[in-house]
Amino acid sequence: MIVTLVTRSAKIFTLVVSTTVTAIAALSWVLPPHVPGFPVAVEVLQDEDLSRLIAALQSAEAEDRAMAACRIGRLRNRDVGAARDGLLALLGDDAAVEGKLCRDYENRRRGGETGSTPGREAAIALEDVGASAIEPLVGVLQSGSGAARQNAALALGLIEDEQAIDALAAALSDELDAVRARAAWSLGMIEDAAAVEPLGRALDDRSAEVREQAAWGLGMIEASSAVPPLSRALQDDVAGVREQAAWALGMIEAGAAVPALSDAIADADAGVREEVAWALGMIEDRAGVDALVRALGDENADVREQAAWAIGMIEDASGVDALVRALGDEVAEVREQVAWGLGMIESSLAVPGLIGALEDEVAEVREQAAWALGMIEDSSAVEALSEALEDDDAGVRKHALWALMRCVDADDAELDYAALAATLRKALGRGGEAG
């Protein structure tokens, strides 16, 4: 089987995900409930069982109250509206509950957390109550206790209804940092452009947690009107806020962000520089290539790797020379990503450097170089690819064969077809290892 693509490294592939989770680590338990590999068992309860769970919301034991709310929240295929008032009354319950709640599956979807509160579990359960819970939740958000306000904001974000935007925007002025941060997160979950202005103002909040969450929310909304405040946030004095602002600008994918991001490629924090490089790659504007070329010389290998990916995403030949030089990077993962970038650009200028990379000491780099040569389809690579069919690594041989088929020029008078045919017969004689 001929493989036609070698993807970029798994780390680079998942950077947007990992960054988002980093920014909302404390909120990771609100991710969608189904985790691949962990089947969801929806409970089928009789009415009297639901009644017992509702009654248990008032138990003297915090663990019982939390467990009851959690189990109600798992009844995703039935109407749990009858539990609404009991769940609302529980929102202010901030008694710490240690250990696992419900099942291991439930714990996994919370990002590995092993503790909660009854109020938090009630907020999660209210997601399934839906629109009928919005008005009372807004009331709690405006006048409940601190814990209740925080959990009300959480529930409104989970319900994801535009009716809650005004109340959540007002909560960005709450006296408690935790409530403001949760409100910012919830506005991002709703993903409505009406929240851009209040979230933009929240980027000036006194709390770094709120500013970071506001940047995340703006990235979720993906509105170009958020570019100016997010660009300013790249100058925040907290690295986490700058990193999240860079992520958000990458999510928006607006060329207007390139100048600010290009400046931020020199940020003092390596995590910010890496995120900036990712954002420039997501925007895919050739105006960002110069900054990314500078990043190829960064002292941090992760930044260099991300810059190589980004230049490949932009697919502009102005980055070829720098990428070819980077094939000599001391870190194999960077060299591999560089070869991928050159393959994406598809410039014949990269062929000599990629032919040299077929001799790299690391098989993954050789494999990526072979793939890149196949993407470029230059007949000058035929001899080197033919030799690569003798590589010790099966993956390299496989991609070399695929690339060789793409690079052969039927009109090339100088091509030794007899020798090529012999090489291919030998390669195919390996029992399919190379094809």
**Residue 429 confidence (pLDDT):** 62
- The rounded distance, in Å, linking the Cα atoms of 73 and 52 is 14
**pLDDT more than 70, % of the chain:** 78
Give CA–CA dist 22/18, Å, rounded.
Answer: 6
- Out of 20-29, 50-59, 133-142, pick the least confident: 20-29
Which residues contact residue 363 at a Cβ distance below 8 angstroms, ignoring those fewer than 6 apart?
391, 392, 393, 395, 396
Please report the pLDDT score of residue 82 as a whole number: 87
CB proximity list for 121: less than 8 A, separation 6 or greater: 66, 67, 69, 70, 73, 90, 101
Contacts of 81 (CB under 8 A, 6+ apart): 129, 132
Mean pLDDT of 30-44: 32
- Would you say how long the chain is, in residues? 435
Higher pLDDT among residues 101 and 352, named by residue: 352
- Tens of pLDDT, residue by residue over 312-360, are 999 999 999 999 999 999 999 999 999 999 999 999 999 999 999 999 9
Distance CA 73, CA 125 (A): 4
Domain ranges (residues) in the chain: 346-435
| Whether pLDDT at 40 is above 70 | no
Assign a CATH topology to domain 346-435: Leucine-rich Repeat Variant (1.25.10)
Q: Are 388 and 366 in contact (CB under 8 A)?
A: yes
pTM: 0.84
Task: With a cut of 80, say whether residue 34 has pLDDT above it.
Answer: no
Residues 6+ apart with CB under 8 A from 393: 363, 366, 367
